[in-house]
Amino acid sequence: MNASPAASPRPLQVLLVDDNPIQLSLLRHLFQRHGHHTLEARNGAEALLVLATEFPDVVVSDCVMPLLDGYQLCRLLKDDRATRHLPVLLLTAQGGGLARFWAKTCGADRFLVKGRDLDHVVEVASALSQQTGRPRRGHQVPRLAQENFGVDAIQRQLAQALEQRLVETAMRDSIGRLYTVEHDTTKLIQGFIEILQELVLPGALAVAYLGEDGAWSAGVHGASTSEQDRASLESELAQRLGLPAPLECHWHPASDPEERRRSLRDPVRVVLSTAMPGYPVTGAVGVLAERRAAEEYERLFEIAAEELGRLLSLEDSRLRLYHQAIRDPLTGLYNRRHILDMLGVELDQCGRFGQPLSVMVVDLDHFKTVNDRYGHATGDQVLSVVAQRMAFGLRKVDQLGRIGGEEFLAYCPQTDLEGARALAERLREQVAAEPIPGLPESGRVTLSIGLATWNGGEDSAEALLARADRNLYKAKAEGRNRVVG
């Protein structure tokens, strides 16, 4: 004797929508056999009438039905604040092609093929109803069911849904095009604000971004928003990014001042994260708008935040790849290729404007002994610490890179030989002053530094570096821990 199926921990109320009485009976039997309660409708229009008085846990609907099919029903439910979080499972006899495409584009939570997948319909519907993140609001009547229900009302709502899709598509396209013409995070965000601001003003719109250089925020506001309103929005953005203090937003007043002077009678704040799956939260969008406008454009705000998250994720990935291409992975300094490319560009500038430039080639003394005595892991730590100390010792205009195992190159714009010598001596003393973590107290690292100055005219980067290399070898030959140039 077969055991009866195990009942769900909580019986569900399932709205079944199908114009085929045999299929409807089969679905009813499947769900009731598992201990669930069912509501029934023969098409999408009847389903909306049922939802005027009932609030089921999940909707299981056929796709092809008269008057209002499953795709149209799903689209109307997902466009309506009263039902947008209600899970919808679509069933179809067609397993591919346009059926699956339309199921995805209309907002269905899942899609099953009749016959092949129908044995799993109860399991899938139960899983959808238990998904986290779906708010359980008190019962709200769908907009369409509140109207003088009929064909005209259905056509009007479907036309509005189509218009909404066109607006969403246009917004996605406009935001997506930003990335094809701009790869600067600040300008990307400013372009995003320009696209979105027409939806929220006369209120305010702000975007916060958390990048490698810290938090940054920009926004636009109408004349009806006070400084206190904007400060509250900044505070919520900071909280969303997990920052301990409010952001200092760069606010700009909106154009078209006559249009923006209307007061906000019932303002609300909406703050949305811009994170994409698999990425940390790097941004947030904050909106201050009329409650009615915020509710009307709620889906558009969510799409905008999602698209901005995609932009920031793309930019973050691009920056990561760029940094991997130009940075030494151990020390974080520029790698050999990039520091030499930068030197070449700087020499072109010096030739154009007649400015001096000096270079220093730096080598760690007796570094092989460190590796042999303490191991390569300690050697890597020594390189990393020394690189940090040198980077802190240089000026902002100077550039530093690792060009070999324990060899570094720094170039110093607008600096003659005596200026470079003073800077190199300071670096040498700064590195040797404190012990290196991982080494004994007496195990301090010293530097040998070779200097050279650009002679202008026909002097090349190769000749300049060759002179600095010769002076480095001379510093080592004279006993190391010294500057020669």
The enclosing domain of 228 has a CATH number of 3.30.450
3-state DSSP call for residue 33? helix
In the block, tokens 């206190």 appear at: 228
Q: Examine the domain organization and report whether 297 and 372 are in the same domain.
A: no
The residue among 290, 323, 356 that closes a domain is 323
Q: Examine the domain organization and report whether 140 and 187 are in the same domain.
A: no
What pLDDT is stored for residue 294 in this prediction? Answer: 80
230 is written with which tokens? 């904007």
Mean pLDDT for the stretch of residues 162-184: 71
Please, which residues have CB within 8 angstroms of residue 484's CB and are 6 or more apart in sequence? 448, 449, 450, 451, 471, 472, 474, 475, 478
Q: Examine the domain organization and report whether 410 and 360 are in the same domain.
A: yes
Mean pLDDT for the stretch of residues 84-88: 89
pLDDT tens for 15-45 read: 999 999 999 999 999 999 999 999 999 988 8
What pLDDT is stored for residue 56 in this prediction? Answer: 92
CATH number of the domain that 458 lies in? Answer: 3.30.70.270
- DSSP string covering 146-188, please? HS--SHHHHHHHHHHHHHHHHHHHHHHHHHHHHHHH---HHHH
Domain-located, residue 300: yes
Domain-located, residue 154: no
CATH number of the domain that 127 lies in? Answer: 3.40.50.2300
Q: Examine the domain organization and report whether 110 and 203 are in the same domain.
A: no
The residue among 126, 149, 172 that closes a domain is 149
- DSSP string covering 206-259, please? EEEEEETTEEEEEEEE-TTS-HHHHHHHHHHHHHHTT-SS----EEEE-S-TTG
Q: Examine the domain organization and report whether 310 and 349 are in the same domain.
A: no
| Residues spanned by the domain of 459 | 336-484
Q: Examine the domain organization and report whether 308 and 187 are in the same domain.
A: yes
Structurally, the chain folds into a number of domains equal to 3
Q: How high does pLDDT run on average in the chain?
A: 83
Distances (CA, A) of 339 to 28, 46, 222, 333, 399: 71, 70, 47, 9, 8
Q: Examine the domain organization and report whether 29 and 126 are in the same domain.
A: yes
Distances (CA, A) of 28 to 150, 348, 356: 27, 79, 86
Please, which residues have CB within 8 angstroms of residue 459's CB and are 6 or more apart in sequence? none
pLDDT band with cut points at 50, 70 and 90 for residue 322: confident
Q: Closest Cα partner for 161 from 274, 220, 74, 90? A: 74
What pLDDT is stored for residue 3 in this prediction? Answer: 44
Query: Is the peptide bond preceding residue 246 cis, with omega within 30 degrees of 0?
Result: no
pLDDT tens for 96-137 read: 666 677 777 788 888 888 876 677 899 999 999 887 445 555
Q: For 143-147, 169-173, 335-339, which range has the lowest pLDDT when averaged over its residues?
A: 143-147
| 15 within 8 A of 47, measured Cβ to Cβ | yes
pLDDT tens for 352-401 read: 888 999 999 999 999 988 888 888 888 899 999 999 999 998 998 999 99
Distances (CA, A) of 270 to 233, 314, 455: 9, 25, 61
Q: Examine the domain organization and report whether 282 and 344 are in the same domain.
A: no
What pLDDT is stored for residue 4 in this prediction? Answer: 45
